[in-house]
């Protein structure tokens, strides 16, 4: 997860399916590493070991995340994801304080209320389709509150987000056109929202962007649109994906779930371990901006570089017991939020949402499982679930 966790363009750099079995990718990651730190394809390479991945993520002057690396249908670079140093720094100086731990912590009470409002709608039923009733609306409501956007527009936001990350179309060209139309809809939506904020400021991030300065200069309308585009994609998808992966794991691993029930203080560490193990954003993309080499493999300028974050998070050189899910693991130097200058801007907010969701859910619904007979279906790119029906004794 990088910047606002918006790196949905990995499939432009490598095969969309990072693993033979998206439900259990860890063994595939092991085979990748055993085959070598770097694997070459036609016009791209994939990088699988922790050491080499750390090198790529830290060398933004060689391995860029610009629009050549990540094509999301946007017409200008998304800020700050597709802006490399030195310009990247001025935007992070502006945005980092807005998502600092102290600022994010102010949202905990509101997030807890949202979690409980959602649980109220199904707790007494003894079953729920988790994705639709919880994983999608929770981070969406948090995001919309931050930007001061109406929750009634959620279906439109989801269409725009899915149009970028999961564009429909039977051919590459058709999918690209679908993505282009969705991208234009995002620009148009935020343009209209900014028109309203120009008339009357409100207590939200969009209003703050209009008054913010980067290196002594106000952000332009285009810069704010480019920030908003990235925020929409990030705010409405990757936390949803993480919730789905985490609750699927817990529903199938009652001993781990019971640890949370018996000792809620373990939740922060459990969040980190599930981020490491599940890695919902399993890969990110870079592009080489000069000729170079990785682990003896020549890399040509313009080559796409697929960085397999999930493999880094299960690399035995970093985690000696990498294939044991340990909710008390310490230290836990996973890179589920990416690394280097493009490390996830929204990581503190994501962590808070996950911690509060786990705390409040397990306080009210401590025992649950996947509905008998249902087979979970994971996506192959960003790891998410088509559906997650959960059942419990009401």
Q: Does pLDDT of 1 surpass 70?
A: no
Dihedrals phi, psi of 66, to nearest 5 degrees = -70, -175
Q: Which of 10, 374, 131 is nearest to 19 (CA)?
A: 10
> For residue 2, what pLDDT is reported?
62
314-330 pLDDT, tens digit per residue, is: 999 999 899 999 999 99
Average pLDDT over residues 195-218: 92
> For residue 21, what pLDDT is reported?
80
Residue 235 counted as domain residue: yes
Dihedrals phi, psi of 121, to nearest 5 degrees = -75, -15
Residue 318 counted as domain residue: yes
119-152 pLDDT, tens digit per residue, is: 999 999 999 999 999 999 999 999 999 999 999 9
H or E segment and range at residue 206 = helix 205-211
Residue 263 counted as domain residue: yes
| Least confidently predicted of 6-20, 56-70, 135-149, 365-379 | 6-20
* Residues 144/157, Cβ–Cβ less than 8 Å: yes
Q: Which two tokens stand for residue 391?
A: 């059942």
Residue 50 counted as domain residue: yes
Would you call 175 exposed, middle or buried from its count of C-beta atoms within 10 A (0-12, 13-18, 19+)?
middle
Q: How far are the Cα atoms of 88, 121, 143, 242 from residue 200, in angstroms, in the given order?
A: 30, 35, 20, 36
111-125 pLDDT, tens digit per residue, is: 999 999 999 999 999
Residue 131 counted as domain residue: yes
Domains in the chain, number: 1
Q: Does pLDDT of 71 surpass 90?
A: no
Dihedral of alpha carbons 326, 332, 333, 334, sign = positive
Residue 221 counted as domain residue: yes
**Band of the pLDDT at 13, cuts 50, 70, 90?**
very low
* Residues 336/279, Cβ–Cβ less than 8 Å: yes
Residue 202 counted as domain residue: no
Locus of tokens 């786990």 = 358
Q: Which two tokens stand for residue 46?
A: 């994939």
Q: Does pLDDT of 26 surpass 50?
A: yes
Residue 186 counted as domain residue: no
CATH code, domain with 380: 1.10.630.10
Q: Which of 128, 24, 138, 137 is nearest to 370 (CA)?
A: 128
User: pTM of this prediction?
Assistant: 0.93
Q: Which of 163, 307, 278, 132 is nearest to 232 (CA)?
A: 163
- Bridge partners for 297 per DSSP: 294
> For residue 23, what pLDDT is reported?
86
Give the rounded percent of residues in the chain with a pLDDT score beyond 90. 88
* Residues 133/247, Cβ–Cβ less than 8 Å: no
Q: Does pLDDT of 234 surpass 90?
A: no
> For residue 380, what pLDDT is reported?
76
Mean model confidence pLDDT for the chain: 93
Regarding predicted confidence, which is higher, 215 or 295?
Answer: 295
> For residue 14, what pLDDT is reported?
38
Strand order in the sheet with 127-129: 127-129, 389-391, 369-370
Strands 389-391 and 63-64: unpaired
> For residue 5, what pLDDT is reported?
56
Output the furthest CA–CA distance in the chain (Å, rounded): 61
Residue 379 DSSP code: -
Range of the domain at 122: 10-148+217-391
> For residue 17, what pLDDT is reported?
45
Regarding predicted confidence, which is higher, 223 or 394?
Answer: 223
Average pLDDT over residues 191-207: 95
At a CB cut-off of 8 Å and minimum separation 6, what does 215 contact? 90, 93
Q: How far are the Cα atoms of 140, 194, 204 from residue 209, in angstroms, in the given order?
A: 20, 10, 9
Question: 3-state SS of the chain: helix, strand, coil percent to 5?
Answer: 50, 10, 40
261-309 pLDDT, tens digit per residue, is: 999 999 999 999 999 999 999 999 999 999 999 999 999 999 999 999 9
Does the bond joining 80 to the residue before it have cis omega, within 30 degrees of 0?
yes
Q: Does pLDDT of 6 surpass 60?
A: no
């Amino acid at each position: 997860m990088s910047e606002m966790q918006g790196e949905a363009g990995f499939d432009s750099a490598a095969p969309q399916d990072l693993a033979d079995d998206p439900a259990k990718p860890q063994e595939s990651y092991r085979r990748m590493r055993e085959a070598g730190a770097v694997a070459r394809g036609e016009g791209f390479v994939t990088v699988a070991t922790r050491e080499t991945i750390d090198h790529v993520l830290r060398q933004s002057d060689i391995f860029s995340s610009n629009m050549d690396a990540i094509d999301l249908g946007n017409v200008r670079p998304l800020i700050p994801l597709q802006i490399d140093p030195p310009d990247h720094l001025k935007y992070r100086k502006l945005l980092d304080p807005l998502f600092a731990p102290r600022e994010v912590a102010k949202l905990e009470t509101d997030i807890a209320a949202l979690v409980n409002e959602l649980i109220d709608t199904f707790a007494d039923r003894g079953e729920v389709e988790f994705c639709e009733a919880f994983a999608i609306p929770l981070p969406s409501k948090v995001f919309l509150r931050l930007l001061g956007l109406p929750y009634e527009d959620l279906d439109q936001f989801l269409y725009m987000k899915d149009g970028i990350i999961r564009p429909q179309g039977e051919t590459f060209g058709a999918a690209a056109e679908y993505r282009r139309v969705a991208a234009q809809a995002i620009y148009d939506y935020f343009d209209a929202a900014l028109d309203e904020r120009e008339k009357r400021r409100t207590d939200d991030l969009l209003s703050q962007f209009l008054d913010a300065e980067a290196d002594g200069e106000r952000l332009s309308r285009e810069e704010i649109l480019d920030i908003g585009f990235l925020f929409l994609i990030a705010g409405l998808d990757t936390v949803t994906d993480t919730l789905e992966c985490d609750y699927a794991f817990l529903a199938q691993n009652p001993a781990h779930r019971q640890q949370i029930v018996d000792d809620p203080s373990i939740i922060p560490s459990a969040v980190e371990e599930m981020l490491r193990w599940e890695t919902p954003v399993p890969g990110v993309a870079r592009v080489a901006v000069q000729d170079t080499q990785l682990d003896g493999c020549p890399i040509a300028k313009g080559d796409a570089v697929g960085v397999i974050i999930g493999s880094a998070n299960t690399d035995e050189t970093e985690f000696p017991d990498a294939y044991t899910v340990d909710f008390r693991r310490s230290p836990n130097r996973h890179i589920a939020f990416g690394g280097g200058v493009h490390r996830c801007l929204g990581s503190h907010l994501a962590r808070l949402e996950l911690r509060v969701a786990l705390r409040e859910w397990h306080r009210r619904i401590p025992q649950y499982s996947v509905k008998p007979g249902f087979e979970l279906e994971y996506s192959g790119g960003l790891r998410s679930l088509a559906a997650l029906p959960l059942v419990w004794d009401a």
